[in-house]
């Protein structure tokens, strides 16, 4: 799903993802190329608005 979002989004697009906090954690790990079973946890909450800015898809 993340690959589809990235490939179908323009560089200056704003993308909204509505999901459970656990999935947002997994998306952050994916964006940062961390292992899915990483012990790193991002405090997103289960019912929260979480905002993040990520580098363009042209970055390494």
Q: Which residue has the higher pLDDT, 37 or 59?
A: 37
- Asked if residue 8 has pLDDT above 80, the reply is yes
- Cβ-contact 16, 10 below 8 angstroms: no
Provide mean pLDDT across the span 18-28.
Answer: 80
Give the CB-side neighbour count of residue 26, counting CA atoms within 13 A: 10
How many domains, in total, are found in the chain? 1
Provide mean pLDDT across the span 6-21.
Answer: 80
- Asked if residue 44 has pLDDT above 80, the reply is no
User: Helices marked H in the chain — which ranges?
Assistant: 2-7, 21-31
How many percent of the chain have pLDDT more than 70?
A: 80
Domain extent at residue 29:
1-46
Is the residue at 54 inside a domain?
no
Q: Which residue has the higher pLDDT, 55 or 25?
A: 25
């Amino acid at each position: 799903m993340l690959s589809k979002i990235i490939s179908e989004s323009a560089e200056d697009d704003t993308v909204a993802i509505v999901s459970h906090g656990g999935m947002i954690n997994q998306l952050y790990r994916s964006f940062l190329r961390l292992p899915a079973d990483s012990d790193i946890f991002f405090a997103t909450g289960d019912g929260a608005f979480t905002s993040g800015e990520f580098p363009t898809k042209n970055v390494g």
